[in-house]
Amino acid sequence: MGLDNYRRLANDPVFWNSLWVTVEYVVVNIGVQTVAALLIAVLMHRLTRSTVLRGIVLAPYLVANVVAGIVWLWILDTQLGIGNEVLKWLGIEPVAFFGDEDWAIPTIALVNVWRHMGYTALLLFAGLQTIPNTLYEAAQVDGAGEWRMFRSITLPLLRPIIGLVMIITVIGSFQVFDTVSVTTDGKPGNATNVLQLYIYDLAFGRFQFGYASAISVALMLLLAAVTVVQYRLTRAGRTDLD
Amino acid sequence: MTATITPPTPRRAPRAERPPRRPRPTPGRVVAWAAMALIVLLTLFPFYWMLRTALSTNTALPAGAGSPLPADFSWGGFLRALGLQSTEDALAEGGAGGSLDFWRYLANSVFVSTLVTGCQLLFSAMAAYAFSRLRWRGRDTVFALVLGGLMVPTVFTLLPNFVLVKDLGLVDTLLGIALPTMFMTPFAVFFLRQFFLTVPREVEEAALLDGAGKVRVFFRLILPMAGSPLATLGILTYVTAWNDYFWPLMVSYSDSSRVLTVALSVFRSQTPQTGTDWAGLMAATFIAALPMIALFALLARRVVNSIGFSGIK
């Protein structure tokens, strides 16, 4: 009898949809965020040590997910939002960012990129500080350009840090809830019904604590598996600096 | 997301960290600065837009959707968010008319965040001291178990925590909201332990020779020395507690225990017949974000410099 909840899970189309939606969210969120954060970190590393600039970049991380969600809900509102005004100005048809089945998940993923990219960038920036400057100086003497230095020095030496940062951000990303809850609340249809939202709805909307817990366990096992795979793939435990 | 700040390390000579000098503004650097400017603009724009909309009048928003300045300037949004506007005025300006007990939610948020931060710092520091300076059987095994807690995602603990809080009869109380993070987090213990390990043993031994007990040494000597890491950890704990939404949403059902984040989402779902009260909603959002922005503006340098990586492994 103890396994009933897990058997139900295997045959629950809503669960599989939630899993798929969550994975889609994580891929967009982590993909864009990692590239953006790396760009910011490298730009700061090569341009300036300004604490003010680092402070500005970190600012979105200090407001609640709820705040970020509501502000972007307004900016990207279909009728009144400045986002669609800009699109109109560029000659593009207005988009129902949060209301369209195909757009809702990428939109939420990008809202969370806005909130987290500065924080992630500062983590990578701290990693960049561990790369000895002499390497860049030597490369410059040899006539290497910025892009060459990025590919041959920064990227390989930052690999373990990028790996660890991605492990942390992916774990956080899979547990997305706040932003979805306050913007789309799972709609349209089940298009943004991410796992945490489904768990919450099961536990507090339908009082099925047992089944909700079963999904929590499934999510945790999934996270553990993803973490192990990521750790192996990025060889996050080993450095090439030695 | 928490395992990523490091205790302050002795400041290295700033000279050594300077980037390689390149005085000439090459085209590449101009492009790089332009990209940086674009990123800063994207980062700050939503904050400005929040304020701009909060100072607009709802009825003027459709016509002035693209205007960079407030559309038909008015304090109405802020007055509504703070519950200072009469119901008729609120309805006339496109508000929901329902009163929002803003000051109570603010007080609740302050209470919960302060309780969590104060208790977590104290208990985590005590645990960190025991793990770094006291010798007892099984210490390293217990510490490994605590560190293992870092690996457990929050989703796994939310439902069991809820059942526990319910059984304790603390549902819909501020204490119930604070409870799961009040005592310690594995990260806080780890973070402070790293710092205590760097305090020279001789300092402590001298005090013990003078007849001070372990408790006295901890409160009079170790804690004051840890002022800087405690402050850094305190700021981050406070911000995290203030911004938390999922757990308070689970536990709180009525005004008496509602915190700002939950109140905001309630305010957002109260759509008046004329459509969403964007000016009021943006004003409420702005006010909810303001304390953290102010705290950060005061202490940015400390927070920014503490984000690093050496503590993670």
Task: Tell whether the model's pLDDT for residue A11 goes beyond 50.
Answer: yes
Confidence of residue B313 (pLDDT cuts 50, 70, 90): very low
Residue with more model confidence, B291 or B309: B291
**B137: closest CA of chain A, how far (Å):** 30
**Which pLDDT value is given to residue B95?**
65
Residue with more model confidence, B259 or A2: B259
Task: Decide if A212 and B43 are in contact by the 8 Å CB cutoff.
Answer: no
* Residue at B193: amino acid letter: R
- pLDDT digits 0-9 by tens, A114-134: 999 998 998 898 888 888 889
In sequence order, the 6+-apart residues with CB closer than 8 A to the CB of B110 are: none
Instruction: Choose among A51, A62, A217: nearest Cβ to B292.
Output: A62
**Which pLDDT value is given to residue B311?**
39
Task: Tell whether the model's pLDDT for residue B198 goes beyond 60.
Answer: yes
Confidence of residue B11 (pLDDT cuts 50, 70, 90): very low
Residues listed for chain B: 313
Q: Looking at residues B69-91, what average pLDDT do you find?
A: 75
Rg from Cα positions in chain B: 24
**Which pLDDT value is given to residue B242?**
92
**Which pLDDT value is given to residue B112?**
96
Burial class of residue A204 (count of CB atoms within 10 Å of its CB; 0-12, 13-18, 19+): middle
**Which pLDDT value is given to residue B14?**
45
**Which pLDDT value is given to residue B13?**
44
- pLDDT digits 0-9 by tens, A134-192: 998 899 898 888 888 998 999 998 888 888 889 889 988 999 999 999 998 888 888 89
- For an interface test with B, give the residue of A26, A42, A56, A74 to mutate (most B CBs within 10 A): A74
Among left, alpha and beta (phi > 0; psi -120 to 50; other), residue B275 is: left
**Which pLDDT value is given to residue A49?**
79
Give pairs for B240-244: CB < 8 Å, separation 24+.
B240/B2, B241/B112, B241/B113, B241/B116, B241/B117, B241/B178, B241/B181, B242/A64, B242/B109, B242/B113, B242/B291, B242/B292, B243/A62, B243/A63, B243/A64, B243/A65, B243/A66, B243/A67, B243/B292, B244/A64
Tokens 């090439």 label which residue?
A240
Q: Which domains does chain B have, with CATH numbers?
A: 46-98+270-313 (no CATH), 109-257 (1.10.3720.10)
**B62: closest CA of chain A, how far (Å):** 6
**A83: closest CA of chain B, how far (Å):** 9
**A192: closest CA of chain B, how far (Å):** 17
Contacts of B162 in chain A (CB under 8 A): 203
Most confident of the ranges A45-54, A105-114, A201-210, B213-222: A105-114
DSSP letter string over B172-239?
TSHHHHHHHHHS--HHHHHHHHHHHTTS-HHHHHHHHHTT--HHHHIIIIIHHHTHHHHHHHHHHHHH
Q: Looking at residues A213-240, what average pLDDT do you find?
A: 84
How many of the other CB atoms lie within 10 Å of CB of B14? 8
Task: Tell whether the model's pLDDT for residue B226 goes beyond 50.
Answer: yes
Task: Tell whether the model's pLDDT for residue B144 goes beyond 70.
Answer: yes
Instruction: Choose among B18, B268, B292: nearest Cβ to A70.
Output: B268
User: Can you tell me the distance from the alpha carbon of A212 to that of B224, in angstroms, rounded to the nearest whole number?
Assistant: 45
Task: Decide if A220 and B155 are in contact by the 8 Å CB cutoff.
Answer: yes
Residue with more model confidence, B26 or A194: A194
Confidence of residue A19 (pLDDT cuts 50, 70, 90): very high
Q: Looking at residues B283-301, what average pLDDT do you find?
A: 84
Task: Tell whether the model's pLDDT for residue A108 goes beyond 90.
Answer: yes
User: Average pLDDT, whole number, for chain A?
Assistant: 88
Task: Tell whether the model's pLDDT for residue B276 goes beyond 80.
Answer: no
Most confident of the ranges A153-162, B170-179, B189-198: B170-179
- Percent of chain A clearing pLDDT 70 (strictly above): 98
Task: Tell whether the model's pLDDT for residue B299 goes beyond 80.
Answer: no
**Which pLDDT value is given to residue A173?**
92
Q: Looking at residues B223-229, what average pLDDT do you find?
A: 86
- Percent of chain A clearing pLDDT 90 (strictly above): 34
**Which pLDDT value is given to residue A42?**
92
- pLDDT digits 0-9 by tens, B25-35: 788 888 889 99
**Chain A residue with minimum CA distance to B238:** A62
Sign of torsion over alpha carbons A101, A107, A112, A117 = positive
**Which pLDDT value is given to residue B241?**
93
Instruction: At B66, give phi and psi (nearest 5°).
Output: -100, 0
Confidence of residue B3 (pLDDT cuts 50, 70, 90): very low
Structure tokens at B133: 């300076």
Task: Tell whether the model's pLDDT for residue B90 goes beyond 80.
Answer: no
User: Average pLDDT, whole number, for chain B?
Assistant: 81
Confidence of residue B16 (pLDDT cuts 50, 70, 90): very low
Task: Decide if A75 and B163 are in contact by the 8 Å CB cutoff.
Answer: no
Contacts of A74 in chain B (CB under 8 A): 49-50, 53, 278, 281-282
Q: Looking at residues A60-82, what average pLDDT do you find?
A: 90
Contacts of B307 in chain A (CB under 8 A): 58, 119, 122-123, 126
DSSP letter string over B291-311?
HHHHHHHHHHHHHHHHB-STT
Task: Tell whether the model's pLDDT for residue A18 goes beyond 50.
Answer: yes
User: Can you tell me the distance from the alpha carbon of B262 to that of B255, in angstroms, rounded to the nearest whole number?
Assistant: 10
Sequence-ordered alpha helix ranges (H) in B55-100: 76-81, 87-92
User: Can you tell me the distance from the alpha carbon of A72 to that of A92, in angstroms, rounded to the nearest whole number?
Assistant: 19
Instruction: Choose among B152, B156, B245: nearest Cβ to A66.
Output: B245
Task: Tell whether the model's pLDDT for residue A52 goes beyond 80.
Answer: yes
Confidence of residue A37 (pLDDT cuts 50, 70, 90): very high
Confidence of residue A1 (pLDDT cuts 50, 70, 90): low
How many of the other CB atoms lie within 10 Å of CB of B61? 23
User: What CATH homologous superfamily does A4-234 map to?
Assistant: MetI-like (1.10.3720.10)
Sequence-ordered alpha helix ranges (H) in chain B: 27-54, 76-81, 87-92, 102-133, 139-148, 154-167, 174-182, 186-196, 201-209, 214-217, 223-225, 227-243, 246-251, 260-269, 278-306
**B162: closest CA of chain A, how far (Å):** 10
Residue with more model confidence, A185 or A109: A109
Task: Decide if B246 and A118 are in contact by the 8 Å CB cutoff.
Answer: no
